[in-house]
Amino acid sequence: MVDRDRSGFIDEYELQQALSSGYQRFNLRTIRLLMFLFKNPYDSLRIPMEFAALWSCLGHWRAVFERFDRDRSGKIDLMELRDALYSLGYAIPPSVLQLLISKYDNGLNFDSFVECGMIVKGLTEKFKEKDPGFKLLGRKGTFGVLKS
């Protein structure tokens, strides 16, 4: 059961436990980013509406991650990250890609991939708010199924 205290809401620790499995544990930083994107800013994640949207989004990310983890190492390298982000609508310059991948010890597991994707999405949206002609992270589409 996800909602351990039966409050009708999920806090960050309940979400971390719900999303973590035997082979994959989500970092609290990633959990907090997910909650920021999917919840009402004044409370915890609501069940089932917000959790269902988040779960669907993670399913999409998992499919992209597995598609581009071509060597099945459980990590995405620089070229795999470039291709995965492009498939999600982001043409990232090589210098930015190198900066992103170096933050994750030159390879991203699924948790890090989700975190990286949310960072790219968030930065792109903030730059677009300030400059509608923003071209640095040349966007060709949208990032998966994240809400705006």
Q: Which residue has the higher pLDDT, 127 or 110?
A: 110
Tens of pLDDT, residue by residue over 5-58, are 777 777 888 888 888 875 678 999 998 888 887 766 556 656 667 778 888 888
Domains of the chain from N-terminus onward: 9-130 (1.10.238.10)
CA 51 to chain centre: 15
- Match 């915890």 to its residue by tokens: 44
Tens of pLDDT, residue by residue over 58-103, are 899 999 999 999 999 999 999 999 999 999 888 888 998 998 888 8
pTM of the predicted model as reported, rounded to 2 decimal places: 0.76
For residues 121 and 94, the answer to whether their CB atoms sit within 8 Å is no
Enclosing H/E stretch for 76? none
Q: Which residue has the higher pLDDT, 20 or 136?
A: 20
